[in-house]
Amino acid sequence: MSYSSDEDQPDPELLELLRQHLNGKQPSPTAAETGVLDSAEFVYNHAIDVALDMRGCKKAANTIWDQMQQREYSPATWSTHELHPKEKNEETVQFIFTMDLLNFSFWSEKSEEDRFQVEYRGKRWTGYWSLVAALQRGLEEGIPITDPAFWINDEKFTPDVLRTVFRSATDEEIPLLQERFDCLREAGQVLHEKYDGSVLDLIEEANGSAAALVNLLASDFPCFADIHSYPGRRQPIRILKRAQILVADLWACFEGQSYGSFADIDKITMFADYRVPQMLWQLGCLLYGPTLEAAVREKKMIEHGGEWEMQLRACSIWCVELIRREIIREHPEAKGKVNAVLIDFFLYDAVKELEKEGGERIPHHRTRSIWY
């Protein structure tokens, strides 16, 4: 079961601000906390079907750091991807906001040839890159798909228009098309009502804090509120995948400057999806219980919001956090150069390379939702 709001639970950011007020302190831009890491640690400590192999984590930390060094992996790597925007301007901010509103559920049971694909620049794109390609193509065709004012125009923005943006080169349509339309419409309304229709005003409200921006997204935009219940815990489990990756994409695109300047970017965790857990298993970091592993291998649907899904996602967050700590412990020179964001980006790129080479030893888990 997912929470539609967090109204009945203490807000970690508000609690911290209250403490500072009572102590006579002015709130700092870095005072906010997302609660994601705390949630992940709780689930990890109580997980039955997912565990971490500490030796595997240590070995993976060295491998990841070595390869990141060899590839000169940094925030600048984000813009080197062929389809990512190259300009550092307000239009790119809107592009990233739109992209991460819709950054969920691209997997298909069909073959690589028959699955949903977007034809653009003489190539066919799948997965996450089909989203980026579709947005770029739509803009080139004169559809203002990244404009929040367009999203709330009932006459001009319809499901059929979005279907045109995401038209497929195959017979398979993009999954959850109506849900994507609803996300855009809802986000446009929130921006209009609370932020004068401006993504820039939303970012400014966070005052240079990555955690504060994540919390604003989760509290003001229901489609970013990736928050769930878990047995034995009174507070909800905060995963916040798309809210966090939006902040991370801004930081990486703008290389920590301008609209991507966040003093506390290291508070962002990995983005709990279906690909990075697969890679962490491949690296020998994640261990699945026999029943769960059988379900993953047989490509059975994993219940959204169920204990298996929460364990897969939360333990992956905690795993990447331990890998980050191990890298810094073994390589003090990595401090300030590596964080969970870059590790996640690296792992995602690595698993996509494995997929292309046919080197996957286990499938990704199957859950269909708007959260990832």
Which residues does the annotation mark as catalytic?
273
Beta bridge partners of 366: 301
SS3 276: helix
SS3 50: strand
> Quick one: how many helices (H) and strands (E) in the chain?
16, 6
SS3 365: coil
Judge whether 292 and 310 are in contact, CB under 8 Å.
no
Judge whether 323 and 64 are in contact, CB under 8 Å.
yes
Beta bridge partners of 288: 50
Three-class DSSP labels, 84-109 = CCCCCCHHHHHHHHHHHHCCCCCCCC
Instruction: Output the DSSP codes for 296-350.
Output: HHTTPBPPTTSHHHHHHHHHHHHHHHHHHHHHHHH-GGGTTT--HHHHHHHHHHH
Judge whether 38 and 236 are in contact, CB under 8 Å.
no
- HSE-CB at 250 with a 13 A cutoff on CA atoms is 30
Structure token digits, residue 73: 């992996």
Radius of gyration of the chain (CA): 20
